[in-house]
């Protein structure tokens, strides 16, 4: 399963720096620490993330751009929208 979490950057860096220690001390699941360390941070200022397959399906059925613009994103934008 894949999840998205919101974590403070300082805490994230602490986890990355100490993941082996956390695992060795059995502070939680080793699999969870590995998942965090191997995770991919979203870039700052990213736009709203949407399900590409849903958009392509909408386009295949000729749904106009304004409908795509009002669909809910999977992950909200990390920036102000003009």
pLDDT in tens, 8-48: 889 888 888 888 787 777 777 778 878 888 888 888 888 88
How large is the average pLDDT for residues 70-81? Answer: 74
How large is the average pLDDT for residues 55-82? Answer: 74
Contacts of 4 (CB under 8 A, 6+ apart): 42, 75
- Token readout for 63 is 């749904």
Map out the domains of the chain as residue ranges. 1-41, 42-82
Nearest-CA neighbor of 82 among 48, 43, 42? 48
3-state secondary structure of 27: coil
The more confident residue out of 23 and 5 is 5
Report percent pLDDT > 70 for the chain.
94
How far, in Å, CA of 70 to CA of 79, rounded? 17
Instruction: Report the predicted TM-score, pTM, of the whole model to 2 decimal places.
Output: 0.57
């Amino acid at each position: 399963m894949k999840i998205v979490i919101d974590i403070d950057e300082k805490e994230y860096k602490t986890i990355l720096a100490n993941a082996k220690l956390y695992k060795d001390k059995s502070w939680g699941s080793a699999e969870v620490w590995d998942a965090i360390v191997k995770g991919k941070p979203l870039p700052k200022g990213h736009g709203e993330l949407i399900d590409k397959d849903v958009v392509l399906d909408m386009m295949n059925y000729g749904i106009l751009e304004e409908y795509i613009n009002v669909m809910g994103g999977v992950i909200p934008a990390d920036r102000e929208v003009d």
